[in-house]
């Protein structure tokens, strides 16, 4: 054999080195690829290194898939928190802001680009929050004034911290302005109801004791019984109006299957208004001038879809209010106008005492009265306009009010075209032209 044993050994050594270099080169390719971590650039090899590369490629792909899935879940969670109606702020163990949603920005005036990793105590300077945070007792929320709060539009937010993880905290905030207003309205409502019922009840009790204990003549007895009847009627009016409001709030919305002639609603309103006027001016020389559309105009108004009792209550309350707050000798004008867009407006204009601008936004609140003493004299319960508001809203209509102190008021309800049928606009418009001097308003009604 050429070269002998030593040649064979040298050849084996060279082959070993070649194999080692070649294997080292393959291993280096795998190592470089692992350092890059991109499954798309994985080397295509055979043997042990090829199997190792394939297994590593699968592991990298699985890890990449898990990371993407985790990122997607995190994105979904943050999107859900972003869509939350409540403010959400994530704080680290030292109270630095790690993340917050847009609602928290609005509640506290945060700016994500500016305030991340800022200490929450440096940004929320309310003393109540400082005491709450330092006390480290987060079992109950604390109520703070919102950053956007103003005197005209106060904003209140409820804030509560929830510890989690290793010293981290979750800060939740909620706008409780409407809740506090509702609670205040509930307290006022209970107090007003109690007062409205207690006052006539006290009068009734006093008269009953008088009748039981004092010898009275027949004339005195009849006079006291008449006063008792008036107070009982007043209590009955309050209870009936409360029941009406309760029914309006708890009943399904009116459908489109029941149609009532507008003429019937207007005639009934006219009868009630003239009867009330006669009662209020019975001992006076002057009476109200009440102007309703003529019969042909009422008939031309067609029909309206809705619940008869609710519609009648809304229209009658507006007319009766005008009678109550217009002195004897004043004028109340009622008309039904067809608008160019197909809608219709029921308008009540009076020459009464008028309403100051600051009272108009609150007129539809329950038991709200501009002049409490006058309301009691005229028999008002303070619930009429609240009933009107609920009734017209349930029928898709809007209530508009305008007034000038000392000159009178205009109340208008605009009904949508979808609830009207059979109207004769040409007849209505001709009658409106004839009545124009009576319907002139001091200014355009403001919607409530």
pLDDT tens by residue, 305-319: 999 999 999 999 999
What radius of gyration do the chain's Cα atoms show?
A: 40
Write out the DSSP string of 155-175: -EEEEEEEEETTTEEEEEEEE
| pLDDT band, very low/low/confident/very high, at 438 (cuts 50, 70, 90) | very low
**Which architecture does CATH list for 84-175?**
2-Layer Sandwich (3.30)
Residue 377 CA to residue 280 CA, distance in Å, equals: 9
> If you average pLDDT over every residue of the chain, what do you get?
82
pTM over 0.75: no
Average pLDDT over residues 408-436: 79
Q: Tell me what pLDDT residue 224 has.
A: 85
DSSP state of 379: T
Tokens of 130: 């400082």
**Topology at the third CATH level for domain 182-250:** Helix Hairpins (1.10.287)
Q: Tell me what pLDDT residue 175 has.
A: 92
Q: Tell me what pLDDT residue 48 has.
A: 63
Could you tell me if 298 and 337 are in contact, meaning their C-beta atoms sit under 8 angstroms apart?
A: no
Whether residue 50 is predicted with pLDDT greater than 70 in this model: the reply is no
Give the phi and the psi of residue 442 in degrees, each rounded to 5: -65, -35
Tokens of 291: 């102007």
The side-by-side arrangement of strands in the sheet containing 446-447 is: 289-291, 331-338, 344-350, 408-415, 398-404, 446-447
Look at 15-19, 40-44, 330-334 and tell me which has the smallest mean pLDDT. 40-44
Most confident of 79-83, 85-89, 371-375, 435-439: 85-89
Burial class for 197, CB neighbours closer than 10 Å (0-12, 13-18, 19+): middle
Q: How confident is the model over 160-188, as pLDDT tens digits?
A: 999 998 889 999 999 998 888 888 877 87
Average pLDDT over residues 421-448: 58
**Topology at the third CATH level for domain 255-447:** Heat Shock Protein 90 (3.30.565)
Q: Tell me what pLDDT residue 437 has.
A: 46
Q: Tell me what pLDDT residue 443 has.
A: 43
| pLDDT band, very low/low/confident/very high, at 287 (cuts 50, 70, 90) | confident
Q: Tell me what pLDDT residue 440 has.
A: 41
Identify which has the larger pLDDT, 392 or 65.
392
Q: Tell me what pLDDT residue 10 has.
A: 73
Average pLDDT over residues 336-351: 92
For the chain, the structural domain boundaries read: 4-80, 84-175, 182-250, 255-447
| pLDDT band, very low/low/confident/very high, at 434 (cuts 50, 70, 90) | low
Could you tell me if 107 and 173 are in contact, meaning their C-beta atoms sit under 8 angstroms apart?
A: yes
Q: Tell me what pLDDT residue 303 has.
A: 94
């Amino acid at each position: 054999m050429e070269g002998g044993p030593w040649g064979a050994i040298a050849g084996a050594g060279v082959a070993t080195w070649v194999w080692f270099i070649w294997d080292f080169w393959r291993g280096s390719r795998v190592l470089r690829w692992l350092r890059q971590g991109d499954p798309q650039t994985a080397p295509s090899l055979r043997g042990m290194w090829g199997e190792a590369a394939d297994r590593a490629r699968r592991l990298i792909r699985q890890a990449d898939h898990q990371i993407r899935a985790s990122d997607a879940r995190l994105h979904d969670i943050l999107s859900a928190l972003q869509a939350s109606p409540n403010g959400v702020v994530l704080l680290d163990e030292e109270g630095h802001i790690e993340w917050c949603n847009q609602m928290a920005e609005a509640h506290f005036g945060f700016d994500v680009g500016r305030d991340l990793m800022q200490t929450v105590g440096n940004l929320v300077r309310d003393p109540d929050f400082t005491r709450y945070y330092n006390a480290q007792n987060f079992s109950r929320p604390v109520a703070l004034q919102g950053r956007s709060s103003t005197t005209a539009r106060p904003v209140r937010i409820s804030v509560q911290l929830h510890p989690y993880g290793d010293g981290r905290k979750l800060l939740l905030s909620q706008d409780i302005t409407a809740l506090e207003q509702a609670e205040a309205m509930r307290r006022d409502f209970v107090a007003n109801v109690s007062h409205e019922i207690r006052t006539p009840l006290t009068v009734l009790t006093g008269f009953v004791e008088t009748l039981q204990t004092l010898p009275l003549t027949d004339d005195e007895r009849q006079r006291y019984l008449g006063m008792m009847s008036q107070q009982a009627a007043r209590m009955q009016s309050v209870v009936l109006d409360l029941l009406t409001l309760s029914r309006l709030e708890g009943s399904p919305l009116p459908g489109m299957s029941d149609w009532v002639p507008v003429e019937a609603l207007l005639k009934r309103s006219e009868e009630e208004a003239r009867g009330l006027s006669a009662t209020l001016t019975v001992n006076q020389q002057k009476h109200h001038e009440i102007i309703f559309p003529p019969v042909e105009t009422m008939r031309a108004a067609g029909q309206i879809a809705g619940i008869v009792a609710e519609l009648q209550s809304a229209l009658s309350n507006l007319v009766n209010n005008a009678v109550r707050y217009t002195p004897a000798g004043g004028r109340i004008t009622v008309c039904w106008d067809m608008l160019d867009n197909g809608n219709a407006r029921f308008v009540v204009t009076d020459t009464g005492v008028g309403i100051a601008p600051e009272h108009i936004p609150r007129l539809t609140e329950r038991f709200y009265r501009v002049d409490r003493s006058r309301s009691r004299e005229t028999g008002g319960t303070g619930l009429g306009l609240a009933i009107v508001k609920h009734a017209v809203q349930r029928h898709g209509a809007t209530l508009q009010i305008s007034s000038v102190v000392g000159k009178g008021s205009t109340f208008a309800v605009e009904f949508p075209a979808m609830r009207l049928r059979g109207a004769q606009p040409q007849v209505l418009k001709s009658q409106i032209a004839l009545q124009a001097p009576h319907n002139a308003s001091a200014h355009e009604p403001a919607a409530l």
